[in-house]
Structure 1
C-alpha cells in the first residue's frame, strides 16, 4: 500500500485547494504506482515558498519508499499549471523511487540517468495537452 500525506496543519492551502490537491495527487499516485508496480511508498506534499520558478512545484525522491513534493501556491504560475505539473512531477519522482528499490529494468534508460523519469513527466504533460517544459527537452 502506498500512502499520501498532505501536510497542511498550518492551513497554508485553503480548504478547497487542499481537497483538490489530495484528489489529484491520490489519483496520480494510484495510476503511476500501478504502472510501476510500486508498493510501500509514502508521498508527502507540503507548502514551501520555494519550487521551480516556472511552476512553483519541486519534487525529490531520496529513498525507495519516500517521495517529497513541495508546492508554492503563491507562485504566479502555480494556479494555471499545478494539476499537470504536480502529476508529472510525481510520475518523475516515482520513477526515481523505483530505481532506488533496485527493481528497475536493467536498461540503459534506467541506469544512472533521469531519462526514463523525465519521459514519464513529459508523457503526463502530453496527455494533458501541455507542451514539454524547457528543462525536459
Structure 2
C-alpha cells in the first residue's frame, strides 16, 4: 500500500525540512505496518506558524480515514530538532486515528474521544516505548480521579466541550491524560491485547475500567 505525500510549500517556509520530514514518514510507516494492515493514505505536509504544539514545533491531525495532516512552524525553535522520533510518534498517533476512522470513527461522545486518544497514545508507546508524552502525563493521581469522576458522569454526552477537555487550561490536556491512563489500565488487565489489535474496539468496552480502577 502507498502513502502519498503532498507538500504544501508555496511559501517556501518548509525549504530544508522536507527531506527529514519525508524520512520520518517512511520510518513511521514501516514501523506501523509491522503490526497493522497496510493502507493507502494521503499525508499532507504544511507550514502554519503558531498552530503547533509549542515544545515540539509540529502537530498532527487525522480528519478522515484517508488522510493525516502534519503541520510545522519552522520559526519555532523546537521544530528542526524534533523531526526524528518525536515526529514519528506524532505520525503513528495520527495513523491510529485514521485507521479508527475506518471502523467506529473518532467518536461523538466524551467517552469515545477519551478511548480514541488513549488508544492512539498507547499505539505510539507500543511502537516506540519511552515515557508518555507531556499531555499524557499532565495529571497527578488526584487530578486523574477527579477527571474520571467527571467523565463517568458525562461519558455518553455528545455535547461535551472537546476544547475544554483536551486543550483547556484548567488543567491543560485533561482528556489526553485521562484517556491515556484509562487505556493503560485496560491493557494492564488484558496482557494479550495491544493498541494495534484494538483499533476498532468499541469505547463501551472501556467503561468498566473507568468505573473499577479510578477512585
Same fold (TM over 0.5): yes
Larger RCO (alpha carbons 8 Å, 6+ apart): 1
Q: Which has the larger radius of gyration?
A: 2
Deviation at 1:112, TM superposition (A): 4.2
| Equivalent position SS for 1:14 | coil
**Equivalent residue, structure 2, for 1:117:** 120
Computed over aligned residues only, the root mean square deviation of the Cα atoms, in angstroms, reads: 2.6
**Equivalent residue, structure 2, for 1:77:** 78
Contact 2:24/2:85 (<8 A) preserved: no
1:124-135 aligned at under 5 Å gives the runs: 126=129, 131-135=131-135
Deviation at 1:73, TM superposition (A): 1.9
Offset from partner CA, 1:80-124 (integer Å, 9 cap, x none): 2232221111100100111111189xxxx9994311201123345
Q: Which segments of 5 or more consecutive residues in structure 1 lack a partner in the other structure?
A: none
**Equivalent residue, structure 1, for 2:136:** 136
| Equivalent position SS for 1:113 | helix
In 2, Cα distance between equivalents of 1:35 and 1:83: 20
- Residue 58 of structure 2 corresponds to residue 53 of structure 1: no
Seen in structure 2, the aligned counterparts of structure 1 residues 34 and 66 have a Cα distance that, compared at 3 Å, is farther
Instruction: List, as ranges, runs of 4+ consecutive aligned residues in structure 1 with deviation greater than 6 Å.
Output: none
Q: Which segments of 5 or more consecutive residues in structure 2 lack a partner in the other structure?
A: 106-111, 138-215
- Residue 11 of structure 2 corresponds to residue 31 of structure 1: no
Contact 1:33/1:94 (<8 A) preserved: no
- Residue 26 of structure 2 corresponds to residue 5 of structure 1: no
**Equivalent residue, structure 2, for 1:98:** 99
Instruction: Calculate the TM-score normalised by the size of structure 2.
Output: 0.52
In 2, Cα distance between equivalents of 1:131 and 1:75: 23
Offset from partner CA, 1:54-78 (integer Å, 9 cap, x none): 1111111111101111011211222
Contact 1:57/1:71 (<8 A) preserved: yes
Give the structure with the larger strand fraction.
Answer: 1
Contact 1:125/1:132 (<8 A) preserved: no
